[in-house]
Amino acid sequence: MASNSTPTYIYFLLISSLALPLISSPIKTLVLPIAKHSSTSQYLTTLYQRTPLVPINLVINLGGPFLWVSCDNSRYNSSSYRSAQCKSPLCSLTHKFLNIQPQCSNNTCMITAENVITSKISSGSLSIDVLSLRATNGLNPTNLTSIPRFVFWCAPEFLLQGLPSGSTGILGLGHSQLSLPTQLANQYNFTEKFAICLSPSTNSNGVIFIGEEPYVFFPGIDISKILIYTPLAITSKNAREFSDPHEYWINVRYIRINGRHVPLNSSYTKIKTKFSTINPYTILETSVYNSVTNYFIREAIAANNTLVDEVAPFRVCFSTAEETGSLTRPGMPFVDLMLQSEIVFWRIFEPNLMVPVNNNTACLGFLDGGINQKYGIIVGGYQLEDNFVEFDMVKSRLGFTSSLLLRETSCDSFNFTNNSG
């Protein structure tokens, strides 16, 4: 059963942060810790809201349009809270920003949104309150900084159903005027971009950077210097015709396994590929799934791996009883997502491909999404772990590293110890 409490290492960060004075110098970058929830494999972060400030634990949704929290009953107490009024400029702009038609109730601006994990939908008030998080110099967190008029959605308590225990809402990082990265960029006048690095461990933190580089990880590696870039397909924030304009996606030209081209359905001249922190594992459209798994099995067996019975939800599993693989000399095939040229590709190694399901079995962490899946590939959280990914909305590009383990560092190697002096 999931724990109802925040992990100890998160509490340490909260206590040290709340003891810091509010920062007054110019802000270029802000930072948030990421914790992986053990039983749901969701990724959570903690920031501060309200007056007086209290920590709130939020599930991270890479494609979410805004931040929402439960405001029912005694869950929400703040002297600085106010709801957006009907016919106010903010209320009127939600239709333009979010393609959501606001409604009026007791002179309060009401909008409809959903819990993306359960697909439950509800109406709630568009609201404004203080939001606080920590600044960083790229090496360490510095001081706490506050945004006095942060816009969020106030959701009913039942919408928390399906979220990890202890969480109070969802943090949207999507391409939207009301997402956290955009509101922070507007507040502090820095570049509209953010980077995310998920740790596979439930006992140590990954990290989100919002704003400018550097991104320095132990033992002194500035990740911004080793990023590979590919065009990021961004739908206009004002576009109303696109069903999910807040998502981030790229075009994959084709897929290689062990350096060999995987034949796909001829309809795939390019593979629309999005990134998700909500889906624990990568999901492929059925024809892509069948081609990739068949080719992967062939290559794995050729390397003397033994195919075994499937273990739900996975269909392709292998014995690990005589495993000899490593990151640089893998016993399992590696997968390349080929991008804008033959020399630009995202290589996925065994640690991000094979999911241990018991002491003797590991399964390929790809799932069949069916024939009607809009995206050919939805890259899930497991495949993103220990890979550094930067979303740059100004330059419309995605920066990535492949596995940081090749660089002898990892996503839990950012130093969260305060060094503000």
Domain contains 417: no
270, exposed or middle or buried, with CB in 10 Å at 0-12, 13-18, 19+?
exposed
Look at the block and give the residue holding tokens 């580089």: 213
Whether residue 193 is found in the same domain as residue 179: yes
Q: Are 405 and 327 in contact (CB under 8 A)?
A: yes
DSSP string, 77-108: --TT-EEPBTT-HHHHHHHHHHS---EEETTE
What single DSSP character describes residue 292?
H
Contact predicate 211/134, CB 8 Å: no
- The answer to which of 144-148, 182-186, 319-323, 375-379 has the lowest mean pLDDT is 319-323
Average pLDDT, the chain: 89
| Residue 72 burial class via C-beta count within 10 angstroms: exposed 0-12, middle 13-18, buried 19 and up | middle
Answer yes or no: is 419 within a domain: no
What three-state secondary structure class fits 62? coil
Return the amino acid letter for 32: L
**Residue that finishes a domain, picked among 199, 219, 239:** 219
Q: Is the pLDDT of residue 17 over 60?
A: no
Q: How many domains does the structure of the chain reveal?
A: 2
Q: Does position 323 have pLDDT exceeding 80, yes or no? A: no
| Nearest CA-CA partner of 64 in 109, 113, 122, 103 | 113
Looking at the structure, tell me whether residues 36 and 156 fall in a common domain: yes
Establish if 421 belongs to a structural domain. no
User: What distances in angstroms separate CA 372 from CA 26, 116, 162, 242, 378, one per listed residue?
Assistant: 48, 19, 25, 17, 13
At residue 325, the pLDDT reads: 57
**What range defines the domain where residue 35 resides?**
8-219
In 3D space, the residue among 135, 129, 132 whose CA is nearest the CA of residue 146 turns out to be 132
* 14 SS3 class: helix
CA atoms within 13 A on the CB side of 19: 9
Task: Say yes or no: 118 and 14 in one domain.
Answer: yes
- Residue 4 is predicted with a pLDDT of 41
**CA–CA dist 17, 12 (Å, integer):** 9
List beta partners, residue 170.
59, 68
Q: Are residues 198 and 304 in the same domain?
A: no
Structure-token pair, residue 256: 């290689």
Domain boundary among 201, 219, 237: 219
Residues whose CB falls within 8 Å of the CB of residue 370, separated by 6 or more in sequence, listed in order: 285, 286
Dihedral sign (CA 371, 375, 377, 383): negative
pLDDT-derived band at 243 (thresholds 50, 70, 90) equals: low
Length of the chain: 421
Average pLDDT over residues 277-299: 98
* In the predicted structure, residue 92 carries a pLDDT above the cut 90: no
d(CA 88, CA 98): 16
What's residue 269's pLDDT? 83
Cα 253 to Cα 137: distance, rounded to the nearest angstrom? 37
| pLDDT at 371 exceeding the cut of 90 | yes
Residue 267's pLDDT is 79
Angle at 138 between CA 135 and CA 143, to 5 degrees: 25
Q: Give a yes or no: residue 415 inside a domain.
A: no
Tell me the average pLDDT across 89-109: 85
Q: Which of 179, 187, 186, 206 is nearest to 195 (CA)?
A: 206
Residues 401 and 258 in one domain: yes
CA atoms within 13 A on the CB side of 153: 31
CA 325 to chain centre: 28
Is residue 124 scored above 50 in pLDDT? yes
Q: How many CB atoms lie within 10 A of CB 8?
A: 8
132 and 47 in contact (C-beta within 8 Å)? yes
Least confident piece of the model among 40-54, 224-238, 376-390, 396-410: 224-238
In this structure, are 148 and 176 located in the same domain?
A: yes
**Does residue 240 share a domain with residue 215?**
no
| Residue 126 forms part of a structural domain | yes
Among the candidates 189, 219, 249, a domain finishes at 219
Give the model's pLDDT for residue 235.
62
Say if residue 253 is in the same domain as residue 197. no
What is the spatial distance between Cα 53 and Cα 51, in angstroms, rounded to a whole number? Answer: 5
Handedness of CA 183, 186, 188, 192 (dihedral sign): positive
Residue 179 belongs to a domain: yes
Whether residue 59 is found in the same domain as residue 120: yes
Q: Which two tokens stand for residue 168?
A: 């109070």
Say whether pLDDT at 241 is over 80.
Answer: no
Residue 214 sits in the same domain as residue 232: no
Whether residue 186 is found in the same domain as residue 262: no
Q: Please check whether residue 420 lies inside any domain of the structure.
A: no
In sequence order, the 6+-apart residues with CB closer than 8 A to the CB of 287 are: 264, 265, 268, 371
pLDDT band at 239 (very low <50, low <70, confident <90, very high): very low
Q: Which two tokens stand for residue 165?
A: 């225990």
Q: Across residues 38-51, what is the average pLDDT?
A: 97
Q: What is the CATH number of the domain that holds 121?
A: 2.40.70.10
Question: 189, 150, 206: which is closest to 31 by C-alpha?
Answer: 206
Q: Is residue 38 part of a domain?
A: yes
Locate tokens 């330059």: which residue?
395
Q: pLDDT (tens digit, 9 = 90+) per residue, 191-235?
A: 999 999 999 999 999 999 999 999 999 999 999 999 999 999 866
Q: How far apart are CA 210 and CA 176, in angstroms?
A: 15
295 shares its domain with 359: yes
pTM for this predicted structure = 0.90
